[in-house]
Amino acid sequence: MRYIRPLSIEDAVGQLAGSAGTAAILAGGSDLLVRMKGGFVEPDLIVDIKSIAGLSEIRETADGFSIGAAVPCAVLGENAALKKAWPGVVEAAKLIGSKQVQGRCTITGNLCNASPAADSVPALVAAGARAVIAGPTGKRTIAVEAVPVGPGKTSLAKGEIIEAILLDSQAPRSGDAYLRFIPRTEMDIAVVSAGVNLTIDEHGVVTAARIALGAAAPTVLLVEEAAEALIGRKLDEAALERLAKVCAGACRPIDDKRGTIEFRRKVAGVLAKRAATTAYARAGGK
Amino acid sequence: MAGIAVSTTINGDITEYLCQPDETLLDVLRDRLGLTGAKEGCGTGDCGACSIILDNRLVCSCLVLGAEAEGRRIETVEGMAHGDQLHTLQQKFLEHAALQCGICTPGFLIAAKDLLAKNPDPSEEEIRFGLAGNLCRCTGYDKIVRAVQDAAHVMKGA
């Protein structure tokens, strides 16, 4: 096993692309080191990306925010501008693990670990976040929901690294929220979860919506029919009921010790309603 | 076998060591440097017994590689007392009997130190929340919370 700490993204990409055997990218390590300890992965090469310039920073750009791949979730919670613009994303990121884990874990790692139950991912998908990927043939930017392709699997090719997550500035009268169900009060893995991002007009009518469900399918689900259930309407009881029904129907969950299919379907609908209500209030809707 | 040469600062002292690429910082502290305060409970970041402060952030040293510590600043429980003079938190843990078997105690002490450094006047809820990454199977937590409350009170007055 080799451990390297490149100073540039080009060097990191080159080392990953040229490596024989298994290579792993290390930022916070809160998934990687657990998997190494458990014997699930034995990388031949570990590429620590924390010394690459810019990857440990949150930048405010003309379009919004660029969150470097190595920024710990704790830092997201300390960024007042980001919290104000995207409270749902920050809340979701802050739900990951303990204070100890918060000091290390990253939203990019959460995304690339590709767990269906990743907390920050439905919130990022609802927010329309994009991933900037550096690779051997240059850079490309894709929707966050295009990164995970199955449990533990991503669409990233050999040598590719997500260097940042982009969040655009919120449109006026917009709000986002994320909720998950867990059987305890803190520090657990989502049984099912929902992220909602809404924009309303001056009359409180929803003009744009993105609803994403977590732990409801092999990958995060962007439920377009759920957006259609809200757009053009105020968030009244009828719209919320329709939202819940569509979300429950869109789920393709599994039965496991943490929840049954039936339970996950029902709770997905309930969480979508509640998250939508919070997002609506944050957008200024009454 | 050769290893990765690391130069870091531990409890204010510049420290150099060689480690293997897959060796955790916890193993380096305990097995190479003799700093056995941090304990391995779970080895997977769940129990907090290996807590240390790395560049002003509370982390589980079992989830950090030894090689990652290059150029960084580490605080462990060994840096809390000054000679025979215990840190206020250590003294209050003793007075409140906030430990039984003691395995979790160094982790709780360092986590409480980090908590009070960032929030010198925490509510009980904030203490319980702030220490939720540390597991104790003996005390039921109440005595730990009371010790931290008392320490906070004393440290504010200091």
Q: What is the ipTM metric for this complex?
A: 0.95
Give the nearest partner residue to A101 out of B111, B114, B133, using CB atoms. Answer: B133
Q: Do A33 and B57 touch (CB under 8 A)?
A: no
DSSP string covering chain A: -EEE--SSHHHHHHHHHT--S-EEEESS-TTHHHHHHTTS---SEEEE-TTSTTTT-EEE-SSEEEEETT-BHHHHHT-HHHHHH-HHHHHHHHTSS-HHHHTT-BHHHHHHHT-TT-SHHHHHHHTT-EEEEEETTEEEEEEGGGSEEETTEESPPTT-EEEEEEEEPPPTTEEEEEEEE-SSSSS---SEEEEEEEEE-TTS-EEEEEEEEESSSSS-EE-HHHHHHHTTS---HHHHHHHHHHHHHH-----BTTB-HHHHHHHHHHHHHHHHHHHHHHTT--
Chain B: closest CA distance from residue A33 (Å): 6
CB contact under 8 A, A100 and B111: yes
Tell me if B14 sits within 8 A of B21, measured CB to CB: no
Distance from CA of B55 to the nearest CA of A (A): 10
Half-sphere exposure of A126 (CA within 13 A, CB side): 35
B44:A97 CB<8 A: no
Contacts of A190 (CB under 8 A, 6+ apart): A117, A119, A180, A181, A182, A214, A215
Question: CATH classification of A2-50+58-168, choosing from 3.30.465.10, 3.40.630.30, 3.40.50.1100, 3.30.1300.10?
Answer: 3.30.465.10
State the Cα–Cα distance between residues A81 and B64, nearest whole angstrom: 29
Q: Which residues of chain A have pLDDT under 50?
A: none
Q: Are A119 and A188 in contact (CB under 8 A)?
A: no
Beta-bridge partners for B9: B14, B73
Could you give the CA distance from residue A24 to residue A62 in angstroms, rounded to a whole number?
33
CB contacts of B4 in chain A (<8 Å) are 3
Model pLDDT, residue A186: 81
A99/B44 Cβ within 8 A: no
* Domain made up of B4-79: CATH architecture: Roll (3.10)
Cross-chain residue pair B21–A1, CB shorter than 8 Å: yes
Q: Given this model, what pLDDT does residue B43 score?
A: 96
Amino acid letter, B71: G
Q: What token pair was written down for A139?
A: 């850079």
- Say if A97 is an interface residue toward chain B (CB within 8 Å): yes
> In the block, which residue shows the tokens 């220490």?
B131
Please check whether residue A40 touches B, CB under 8 A.
no
Sheet of strand A161-168: strand arrangement: A58-60, A64-68, A161-168, A130-135, A138-143
What is the per-residue pLDDT across B32-57, written as a single tens digit (0 to 9) for each? 999 999 999 999 999 999 999 999 99
Q: The whole model's pTM is what?
A: 0.96
Whether the CB of A158 is below 8 Å from some CB of chain B: the reply is no
B22 close to A (CB below 8 A): yes
- If one counts every other C-beta atom within 10 angstroms of the C-beta of residue A150, the result is 11
Q: Which of A45, A71, A95, A100 should we substitute to test contact with B (largest number of B Cβ atoms within 10 Å)?
A: A100
Q: How many helices and strands, by DSSP H and E, does chain B display?
A: 5, 5
Identify the residue among A46, A71, A78, A99 best suited for mutation to test binding to B, counting B beta carbons within 10 A and taking the highest.
A99
CB-nearest to B21 from A46, A72, A74 is A46
A103 and B CB contact within 8 Å: yes
Q: Determine the Cα–Cα distance for residues A214 and A116; give it in Å rounded to an integer.
A: 6
Contact B45 A101 (CB under 8 A): yes
Q: Which CATH class is domain B88-157?
A: mainly alpha
Of chain A, the percentage scoring pLDDT greater than 90 comes to 98
Three-state SS string over A20-75 comes to CCCEEEECCCCCHHHHHHCCCCCCCEEEECCCCCCCCCEEECCCEEEEECCCEHHH
Percentage of chain B lying above the pLDDT 70 cut:
99
By C-alpha distance, the chain A residue nearest B67 is: A3
Architecture of domain A174-282: 2-Layer Sandwich (3.30)
Q: Where in chain B is the domain with CATH 3.10.20.30?
A: 4-79
Predicted local confidence at residue B33, as pLDDT: 98
pLDDT at A184: 86
Spell out the domain ranges in chain A: 2-50+58-168, 174-282
Whether A100 has its CB under 8 Å from any CB of chain B: the answer is yes
| pLDDT attached to residue B1 | 60
List the structure tokens of B118: 């960032």
Query: A99 to chain B, minimum CA–CA distance in Å?
Result: 6
Q: If residue B19 lies in a helix (H) or strand (E), which one and from where to where? A: strand B13-19
Q: Which residues of A touch B58 (CB under 8 A)?
A: 99-100, 103
Chain B residues whose beta carbon lies within 8 Å of the beta carbon of residue A106: none
